[in-house]
A and B are shown apart, each in its own frame.
Chain A
Amino acid sequence: MSHHISTLPTLLSVAGALLVLTFLTVAVTWINIPEPFNVIVAITIAVVKATAVAMFFMNLYWDSKFNSVVFLLSILFLTIFVVITLLDTLFREGGLPVY
């Protein structure tokens, strides 16, 4: 059995980084970044945070790479879901729906 055991400094510094990024994502709303860059910045910070959690708290970094592939596939299929739906809803004729 050779399971990875995370060191204390790793876990604490990942948590520290997550706290700093949480502060950052709030702080960027104090300066007015024009659309659509404010959304891009917010999502980028969230993706970095989620990646840190997945790699170092969920141990994907040390795991069998197959688990990372499985997880990334869920992101891929979510992207397909979003893009194909938007191809419909963004290009409807007759203006916005009433709901």
Chain B
Amino acid sequence: MANQSVATEKKSHLQHHFVDEDQQFESSKMGMWIFLVTEVLMFGGLFVAYIIYRAWHPDLFYEAAQELDVALGATNTVVLIASSLTIALAIRAVQLDKIKAAINYMAATILLAGTFMVIKYFEYMDKFGKGIYPGESYTYDGLEHEMAANFFSIYYMMTGLHGIHVVIGMVLIGWMIIKAKKGLVHSGYYTPVENTGLFWHLVDIIWIFLFPLLYLID
């Protein structure tokens, strides 16, 4: 190991039950991937509900999707892709020990996530204003289909669960900023930033599927 001295100097985070830093890093990352699998399967339940319902009522999905604003959905897709880029740049900056740049990139990620939530808020408010609520609270009469409420129940559950993940991601990235400011992450140890990044990218991947499935039914 060429950087033995650096590694020894910053070894305080190495837990006694790991052989070395690499093993600790790889184990932690694998644990994160296994958690992401449970996330895929949790959203999977909602995707299955979507698929079954769309197979039963294709006409309903075509009709109800017209109520969703493609421009806002597309803007949010671009915002999330930009935020995925900034968190990837933040991890790169930590790996290169450019902590100040990393903090700025993470702050930019939180800002983009906030933008996503604000746009989502206006979308929800616009629908609530028309009486488009999930489930039995649905009072909108602009759609012919008798099962119209069910499309929006699926819509609210999928985008709602995703929105909760965006907020959790914002909190996690905020926590990483605090860690970075305290000097707790650097090129020798950045596992929490790496795992937060993985979580954030998964949130992006889920939106990549939600956008065409909900907004782009033509």
**Count of A residues near B, CB < 8 Å?**
49
A1 to B23, CA, bound (A): 10
A66 touches B1 (CB 8 A): no
- Contact of A71 with B33 at beta-carbon distance under 8 Å, contacts A3-B25, A6-B92 already known: yes
In the assembled complex, B81 has its CB within 8 A of some CB on chain A: yes
A74 to B84, CA, bound (A): 21
Q: Which of B101-159 contact A (CB under 8 A)?
A: 147, 150
A58 touches B81 (CB 8 A): no
In the assembled complex, B55 has its CB within 8 A of some CB on chain A: yes
Chain A residue contacts of B205, Cβ below 8 A: 50, 53-54
In the assembled complex, B216 has its CB within 8 A of some CB on chain A: yes
A45 touches B30 (CB 8 A): no
Hey, which bits of chain B sit against chain A, CB under 8 A? 1, 3, 7, 21-22, 25-26, 29-30, 33-34, 36-37, 40-41, 44-45, 47-48, 51-52, 55-58, 70, 74, 77-78, 81-82, 84-85, 88-89, 92, 95-96, 147, 150, 188, 197-198, 201-202, 204-205, 208-209, 211-213, 216, 218
Main secondary structure of the interface of A (DSSP, over half): helix
Main secondary structure of the interface of B (DSSP, over half): helix
* CB contact between B30 and one of A70, A73, A74, A77 (< 8 Å): that residue: A70
A5 touches B209 (CB 8 A): no
Chain B residue contacts of A77, Cβ below 8 A: 41, 44
Shortest Cβ distance from A64 into B: residue: B26
A99 to B197, CA, bound (A): 40
Q: Which 3 A-B pairs have the closest CB atoms?
A: A74-B37, A42-B212, A74-B40
- Contact of A22 with B74 at beta-carbon distance under 8 Å, contacts A1-B22, A78-B40, A78-B44 already known: yes
- Contact of A70 with B85 at beta-carbon distance under 8 Å, contacts A5-B96, A89-B52 already known: no
B95 touches A3 (CB 8 A): yes
B30 touches A85 (CB 8 A): no
- Contact of A67 with B78 at beta-carbon distance under 8 Å, contacts A49-B208, A86-B51, A86-B52 already known: no
- The smallest beta-carbon distance between A6 and chain B, in angstroms, is 6
- Contact of A19 with B55 at beta-carbon distance under 8 Å, contacts A1-B1, A77-B41, A81-B44 already known: no
